[in-house]
Structure 1
Amino acid sequence: MAKDEELPVEAPAPEPDGDTLDGPAEDHLRGRFGRPGPPLDRRNPFLLGLLGGLGIILAYAIFLGLRNAGSILVLIFIALFLAIGLNPAVVRLRSWGLPRGLAVAIVALAVVGLLAGGIIALVPPLISQTTELIQNVPGYIRSLQRNETVNELVQRYDIVNRVTSALNAGTVGNAVGGVVGVGRMLAGTVFNLLAVLVLTIYFMASFDRIRETGYSLVPASRRVRVRLLTDEILTKVGAYMVGAISIAVLAGASTWLLAVILGLAYPFALAVVVAVTDLIPQIGATLGAIVVSLVGFASSLTDGIVCAIFFILYQQIENYLIYPNVMRRSVKVSDVAAVVAALLGVALFGVIGALVAIPMVAAVQLIMREVIVPSQEAR
């Protein structure tokens, strides 16, 4: 071997650092347990079927969860809608220098006071009139027995025996079951009202934090525009609530004036009933009118006819004059859009749809005017 030739020097092995693998992973890379196979074929029919089946199962599980929690989700939605509608009152109180906690407490106490006032106005008349009816039942029966026409009908159709045969154990059991069902319905209604009230207070107290959290989920490049549009939509929802309450107060005041003129019993309670039911678009005013008209007919035939005529005329004025004008000025929705939205909301989603129909139309109009139309014009 020549002197100038040198043996090749083997390069020293690199020192292991923190990024090198050791243990089973290093043995696997060196082939101790075999070379890794090719990745799974995403077009494999078995893999596609398995993933598709898992997706269907997951979608069905989500559907079952939403269906089972549907009633709770509706309560949460109503509470959030009420919190958005009451937030302008909280903002107004805060502009006077009050802290948010105190402003929310004042608004919540005002809402609770209105509910308590309505209950106090309705429950005593209901109890007293029911007691009076029960006390007068024997007199009604005696007056019917003295009527020759009624006695003839009783004998001709054998009413006494039919009533006696109908009052068997099964009928009594069904009646008791009905009473239990009514009790459960009342308990469920009270629970729902309390849940909505508590959730509304929580949403009002943390309204700013919830809104800012929602804005933080939007990309920073679009956050300012989304904030401006969303704030405008929330303002329209609050304006809608103010307009709806104003219309309800007007309906209640008109009912109180009518009851005082006719001399009906408990005019304030009747006014509260009409005002509360009038908050339900389209069908609420009819429900209140039926209640007051029945009270009028119980007083006299003339009073009942006057009540029926008054509410027929008032509903036409409210539906086609007051309601569209108030909504056009507060929410800035056209008359036709307000009426059509309310009708479609009732038909699609019932009372909830009627409540959110007009604010949704205002939001859609705003998005179309500020987003869709400029995008189409830029093309």
Structure 2
Amino acid sequence: MATDDDETTPPDDEPLEPVVKEPYAGRFGRPGSPLNRRAPFMTGLLGGLGLLLAYGIFLGLRNAAGILVLIFIALFLAIGLNPAVVRLRSWGVPRGTAVAIVALSLVALIAGGIVALIPPLISQTTQLIENVPEYIRSLQRNETINELVQRYDILNRVSNALNAGTVGNAVGGVVGVGRMLAGTVFNLLAVLVLTIYFMASFDRIRETGYSLVPASRRVRVRLLTDEILTKVGAYMVGAISIAVLAGASTWFLAVILGLAYPFALAVVVAVTDLIPQIGATLGAIVVSLVGFASSLSDGIVCVVFFVIYQQIENYLIYPNVMRRSVKVSDVAAVVAALLGVALFGVVGALVAIPMVAAIQLIMREVVIPSQEAR
């Protein structure tokens, strides 16, 4: 006999229909269906927002380019100076003390260079100002110059040129020079402070970077990255050694020729020699000008010396040092330095050779084995 339960209960082999719940109807009515993300309007809206976001990121990076360059230089210096900190720690020195020793040594070198350069600059400028009246009197005693002054009415033209506009431009130029000097000092202090902070927290920054790598690849990434950081430190040691050699050679030359302020000239050459490709030429120009100011023969000797020394440094000393420290071939070192200067200026020149060393390591240990396994 059939009951009500038999009539309402579906057979076991028939699936139960899902219960569809009606949307909750609040005081403002039932919500509509969700928006179709593939609709043309939504596609265009999301695409436009993406373009605006990309443009905003571009503007932010462009406006912060100067600060980002300073951060990059400070990080590069911290990586290069970290081997010195590691060496001090291997001698039992605590990390904070080791960082302080390296930082104070760096500050002492910078201060020594400034102390060596400022007195000659002040004394030479003072001598020039004191000798200006004598120069004018000697010019006035020259009949040829007096004739030219009268013929071309130079005095009236100079007096007319010294008006309010030219004075204002001169003052503006002085203010611009002051701003440039203030900006340079600020950049140096910022790089120095950031370098100290990066050296103090170098291990923590490195471990944080390693923690972002998947655990299955973390060991290999750690080994490769540590080798790259070692090469950066070796490059810094090699570059400093070459700069010291150039400065010592300049000091001997200045002492032999009897040039004024030989130590200051040596500091100028050593500092500028840290800039690949163009730095040695800048230092040679400064020393040669000082030589010509001393005498014609001294200037010629300086020019000949630096022409010969730069050839020896570029094609003998620099490649050999970089081959032994960074293990980069001669051709790769020269090409990398040229491309770095052309693309990114001085910063590109500084990081070009370590970058080539890192690329060679990745090619040898990652790319080539992956291609051979296919």
TM tier, smaller: over 0.9
What is the CA deviation profile of residues 65-88 of structure 1, one whole-angstrom value per residue up to 9, with x for unaligned ones? 111111000000000000000000
Cα distance in 2 for partners of 1:302, 1:323 equals 29
Name the CA distance, whole Å, in 2 between partners of 1:6 and 1:342.
Answer: 93
CA contact (8 A) 1:280 1:355 kept: yes
TM-score, with normalisation over the residues of structure 2?
0.93
TM-score after normalising by structure 1: 0.92
Matches within 5 A, 1:78-89: 78-89=73-84
Counterparts of 1:276-295 in structure 2, within 5 Å, are 276-295=271-290
Q: Is 2:265 aligned against 1:270?
A: yes
Cα displacement string for residues 62-116 of structure 1 (whole angstroms, at most 9, x for unaligned residues): 0111111110000000000000000000000000000000000000000000000
The alpha-carbon deviation at position 164 of structure 1 amounts to: 1.2
Structure 2 residue aligned with 1:43, among 23, 38, 46?
38
Instruction: Determine the C-alpha separation between the residues in 2 that align with 1:38 and 1:213.
Output: 45
Moved more, 143-152 or 108-117: 143-152
Q: Deviation at 1:139?
A: 0.4
Unmatched tracts of structure 1, length 5 or more: 11-27
2:228 corresponds to 1:218: no
Q: Give yes or no for contact 1:251–1:274 (8 Å, CA) kept in 2.
A: yes
Q: Distance in 2 between matches of 1:76 and 1:171?
A: 40
| 1:167 corresponds to which of 159, 162, 172 | 162
Deviates most, 306-315 or 358-367: 306-315
Alignment of 1:116-155 (within 5 A): 116-155=111-150
The answer to whether residue 302 in structure 2 is matched with residue 312 in structure 1 is no
1:31 is displaced (CA, Å) by 3.6
Query: Which digits, 9 at most, give the CA deviation of each residue in 1:14-43, with x for residues without a partner?
Result: xxxxxxxxxxxxxx9444427765543232
Q: CA deviation at 1:166?
A: 1.0
**SS of residue matched to 1:358:** helix
Taking a change above 3 Å as real, the CA distance of residues 223 and 32 of structure 1, as seen in their structure-2 partners, is: closer
The 1:161/1:221 distance shift into structure 2, 3 A limit, reads: same
CA distance in 1, matches of 2:76, 2:3: 90
RMSD of the alignment, in Å?
A: 1.8
State the distance in 2 between where 1:211 and 1:173 align: 53
Q: 2:173 aligns with which of 178, 182, 188?
A: 178
Q: Match of 1:340, SS?
A: helix
Instruction: Indicate which of 228, 231, 244 corresponds to 1:236.
Output: 231
CA distance in 1, matches of 2:218, 2:96: 28
| Aligned residue type for 2:148 | L
CA distance in 2, matches of 1:45, 1:31: 27
Aligned residue for 1:282, secondary structure, equals coil
Instruction: Quote how far apart the aligned CAs of 1:159 are.
Output: 1.6
- How far, CA to CA, are the matches of 2:350 and 2:224 in structure 1? 21
Opposite residue 122 of structure 2, the aligned amino acid is: I
Distance 1:7 1:252, change over 3 A: closer
Aligned counterparts of 1:76 and 1:347: Cα–Cα separation in 2: 21
How far apart are 1:247 and its partner, in Å?
0.4
- Per-residue CA deviation, residues 245-304 of structure 1 (Å, 9 max, x unaligned), is 000000000000000000000000000000000000111111111111111111111111
Give me the whole-angstrom Cα distance separating, in 2, the residues matched to 1:263 and 1:184.
36
1:204 to 199, 203, 206: 199
The equivalent residue for 1:54 is 49
Distance 2:201 2:234 in 1: 20
Tell me which amino acid in the other structure corresponds to 1:97.
G
Judged with a 3 Å threshold, the aligned counterparts in structure 2 of structure 1 residues 367 and 145 are, in CA distance, closer, same or farther, namely: same
* Alignment partners' CA distance in 2, 1:222 and 1:130: 61
* Structure 1 counterpart of 2:367, one-letter code: I
State whether structure 2 residue 322 is matched by structure 1 residue 327. Answer: yes
Counterpart position of 1:77: 72
The separation in 2 between residues aligned to 1:223 and 1:365, in whole angstroms, is 20
Percent of matched pairs sharing the same residue: 87
- Paired amino acid for 1:58: L
Aligned partner of 2:94 in structure 1 is 99
Q: Decide whether the 8 Å contact of 1:274 with 1:288 is kept in 2.
A: yes
Structure 2 counterpart of 1:222, one-letter code: R
Q: Deviations over 1:156-214 (max 9, x none)?
A: 22221111111111001000000000000000000000000000000000000000000
Work out the number of aligned pairs and report it.
360
Distance (Å, rounded) in 1 between the aligned partners of 2:58 and 2:105: 39
Residue 226 of structure 1 aligns to which amino acid in structure 2? V
Q: Does 1:368 align with 2:363?
A: yes
Give the deviation of 1:324 after TM superposition: 0.9
Q: Which amino acid aligns with 1:282?
A: Q
CA contact (8 A) 1:29 1:35 kept: no
Offset of residue 309 of structure 1 = 1.1
Mean CA deviation greater in 343-352 or 317-326: 317-326
